[in-house]
Structure 1
Amino acid sequence: LSKDSNVLHFYFSEARDRLKQIREEQSRSSREVVDIWEQFLSYFSDKLGNDVWPVYEQVCIAACDCGEISLAHRCVRELNRQFPKSFRVKGLEGMVLEANQRYDTAEHLYKTILQDDPTNSVAEKRLVVIYKSQNKIKEAITELRKYLDSHMADTDSWLELSDLYLSQMDYAHAAFCLEELILANPHYHLFHQRYAEIRYTQGGTENLLEARAYFSQAIKLNPNNIRALYGLFLCASNLATKQRSAESKNMKYAAWAAEQISQLYRKLGGRGTKSSSDSTEQIKALGGMFDKLQLTSS
């Protein structure tokens, strides 16, 4: 580093502002955070003033992500000196224990925090992470359901719970989680798509009809959703073989979805770096795939 004070001040300001930007964007960028701290800011921490405490927290989390356990310990030690009774700092201690694979100790720490502060959402979520890390899926589901009883607006947790249920092939409960998400955000096409996929997986005429409706809604909200278009095609194809009275209607749905997918692939074929011959071959292959899926009644 140059000894010129103006140059040092410039680098210091750049490093400090970059860490602040990462915090504001809620982007972990863990390796970058650790490198900025170790290569520069750690030598000038006294110049950060009160900003040093959020920086210590940020660096601690990043160090846990990168497996830099000794650095994480140093950050927690400094934070404990300043905030000796902080539940937030105790939560960071738990994360360091997790990074060191001391799950039992971390679990005990989080439960102790919850005894003193039953509404501590960080401790509740970290318990879920611990159970997932040890493949204790049933315990993770129980803990996450308990958390959602008092934090029903947390969409990320509903998605997480849905994924946990899917890992156990509990499609009914996974669908319920998506229903809650759709109620909270009815205009987000991916929630409709995921709900439809679960209903399609469950099978049966009633579930296929519901899946068709939700795939259609996902397409209405986002006409470029190829996955939803393909889901509609599959639902309509299956229903055409099951419901003779509605066969022609479902065949029309399937034909429309297939045409929309083909059009999207043609549009994509004119972009990117692939040659026109490669794009033509892809479109032909797609058409062949649809031709093989005959829509015939059973």
Structure 2
Amino acid sequence: MEPGEYDALVVKARSSSTAALELLQFMRTHKIHQPELVLQHGAKLVRSQRLGNELWTVLEQVFMAAAELGCDDWRDYCLKELTKNFPSSLRVERLKGIEKESQADWKEAEKIYQKILSTKPEDTMAHKRLIAMHKQSGKVSEAIEAINTYLQTFSTDSEVWHELGELYIEVGSLQRAAFCFEEMIVHNPRSMYTILTYAELLYSVGDFEASRKYFSMAAYLDEMNLRALWGLATCNMALAEKDKAREKTKQFQELQKLTLERLKTAYKGFGATGKPAAKLLAMMTL
């Protein structure tokens, strides 16, 4: 995506149906989530009846936006048209489930998804709708169970591992959350977000040694990352408190000295805002 490309399409779409269609295509390709914009332009295109083969894709896109925004008339119209033209489509069956979700009819939505999975257990979208549905209805334990079932088959889906990790954090199960982030690191070993979150989870469960290793990895990837440096300094302090003999070793003292020096360098130029940090850094010197 080029800078300004999307904004230019939004402006053009106001005066041209061709540009409006291009905008909707662009939003699908780049996974841009703006349901109000989809409904605004998609509804006009559907009314124009000049979409040709693009009609069904736009109808589905408008349906999703309408379901999210609570525009029942457009939601029902799009689903009716899609059902009429694709009566045996599993994709349309999933849309029926989404319709029930938008009506908060969770039981009926679950029935639809379970029926799809009974005939096509590899349908990842039905699995993910079940997970989303449980989250929307506040059933965290059911969402966790559904994700674990999904991951038994699709164990390389890092997005779902992330979702499971966040749910475990939500319910306070930090050991399980750490395992999820560990899986994510396997799939993307250079993700700073994943490495740092994993390090923080390890620290939270008291595994200071492992936590320090991952904060060190993050600091190696980005030597001025404040989150990594603060984590590393804090781990050093926790380990020193736990083992006084370790505190006196040359290697340990050099690591803490280097960490604090980098933090001081990172805070240079912050002026008055850096003074509280400077005081804290002085207190952390071994």
Normalising by structure 1, we get a TM-score of: 0.85
| Identity %, equivalent residues | 32
Q: Name the counterpart of 1:273.
A: none
Q: Name the counterpart of 1:85.
A: 88
Q: Is the 8 A contact 1:189 1:217 kept in 2?
A: no
One of 284, 288, 294 as aligned partner of 2:275: 284
Q: Is the 8 A contact 1:237 1:250 kept in 2?
A: no
Q: Name the counterpart of 1:22.
A: 27
**1:156-171 residue pairs with structure 2 within 5 A?**
156-171=159-174
Q: Is the 8 A contact 2:257 2:285 kept in 1?
A: no
Equivalent position SS for 1:159: helix
Q: Is the 8 A contact 1:240 1:251 kept in 2?
A: no
Distance 2:132 2:73 in 1: 22
Q: Name the counterpart of 1:257.
A: 259
**Structure 1 range deviating more: 282-291 or 234-243:** 282-291
Equivalent position SS for 2:50: helix
Q: Name the counterpart of 1:220.
A: 220
Distance 2:283 2:66 in 1: 53
Distance 1:151 1:171 in 2: 23
Do the aligned partners of residues 35 and 258 (structure 1) sit closer, same or farther apart at CA in structure 2, a change above 3 Å counting? farther
**RMSD (Å) for aligned C-alpha atoms:** 2.1
Per-residue deviation, 1:251: 4.2
Per-residue deviation, 1:135: 2.3
**Aligned-partner residue type, residue 277 of structure 2:** L
Per-residue deviation, 1:228: 1.6
Per-residue deviation, 1:115: 1.2
Q: Name the counterpart of 2:239.
A: 239
Equivalent position SS for 1:28: coil
**1:189-216 CA distances to partner (integer Å, 9 max, x unpaired)?**
222211111110001xxx1000000111
Do the aligned partners of residues 81 and 224 (structure 1) sit closer, same or farther apart at CA in structure 2, a change above 3 Å counting? farther
Per-residue deviation, 1:75: 1.1
Equivalent position SS for 2:162: helix
One of 71, 75, 87 as aligned partner of 1:72: 75
Runs of at least 5 residues in structure 2 that lack an aligned partner in the other structure = 1-11
One of 31, 40, 59 as aligned partner of 2:36: 31
Equivalent position SS for 1:47: coil
**1:31-78 CA distances to partner (integer Å, 9 max, x unpaired)?**
11111123x32331x211011111111111112222223211211111
**Aligned-partner residue type, residue 282 of structure 1:** T
Q: Is the 8 A contact 2:46 2:59 kept in 1?
A: no
Normalising by structure 2, we get a TM-score of: 0.89
**Aligned-partner residue type, residue 43 of structure 1:** R
Per-residue deviation, 1:129: 1.4
Per-residue deviation, 1:186: 1.6
Q: Is the 8 A contact 2:260 2:285 kept in 1?
A: no
**Structure 1 range deviating more: 170-179 or 140-149:** 170-179
**1:133-282 residue pairs with structure 2 within 5 A?**
133-203=136-206, 207-248=207-248, 249-266=251-268, 269=269, 279-282=270-273
Distance 1:99 1:121 in 2: 20
Distance 1:263 1:65 in 2: 47
Q: How many residue pairs are counted as aligned between the two chains?
A: 273
